[in-house]
Amino acid sequence: MFNFFSTKPKNYEDIPAGPFHDLSLQKDTVILDVRTPGEFAGGKIRGARNIDIMSANFVNQVKNLPKDKTYLVYCRSGNRSGQACEIMADLGFENLKNLAGGIMRWPFETV
């Protein structure tokens, strides 16, 4: 029987800034900032690539990324990056980490 109250299992992990930072230093990780280019220009996590989730071609931009890497995804508060992780999971990505609380909770250096 179908349960209307069941939630879809998350196919990504919300992780705090510490583990996110540690993972960002590993060579097989890709840091994705899914904020707008304007937000991105205002300060980002070192090494991050900007792919705006609000842009019309977000799916086209991410679907060509290599699926064998670990993706560290963040936005301002963790909301849009969670949505980005869901979209990416639907596209077949398996190693997705969402920065819990977003860059607002990032205690480390931004560039």
Cα separation, 63 vs 100, in Å, equals 23
Catalytic residue among 72, 75, 88, 100: 75
In terms of C-beta density within 10 A (0-12 exposed, 13-18 middle, 19 or more buried), how is residue 96 classed? buried
Q: Report the pLDDT value the prediction gives residue 9, as an integer from 0 to 100.
A: 73
Q: Report the pLDDT value the prediction gives residue 37, as an integer from 0 to 100.
A: 97
Whether residue 12 has pLDDT greater than 90 = yes
Chain mean pLDDT for the chain: 93
| Residue 47 half-sphere exposure toward CB, CA atoms < 13 A | 15
Residue 75, sorted as left (phi over 0), alpha (psi -120 to 50) or beta, turns out to be beta
Please tell me the CATH code under which domain 28-105 is placed: 3.40.250.10
Domain boundaries, the chain: 28-105
Q: Tens of pLDDT along 49-91?
A: 999 999 999 999 999 999 999 999 999 999 999 999 999 999 9
Cα separation, 88 vs 94, in Å, equals 8
Q: Give every CB contact of residue 55 below 8 A, 6+ residues apart in sequence.
A: 61
Q: Report the pLDDT value the prediction gives residue 19, as an integer from 0 to 100.
A: 97
Average pLDDT over residues 11-22: 96
Would residue 85 show up in a list of annotated catalytic residues for this protein? no
Pairing of strands 49-50, 29-33: parallel
Q: Report the pLDDT value the prediction gives residue 10, as an integer from 0 to 100.
A: 83
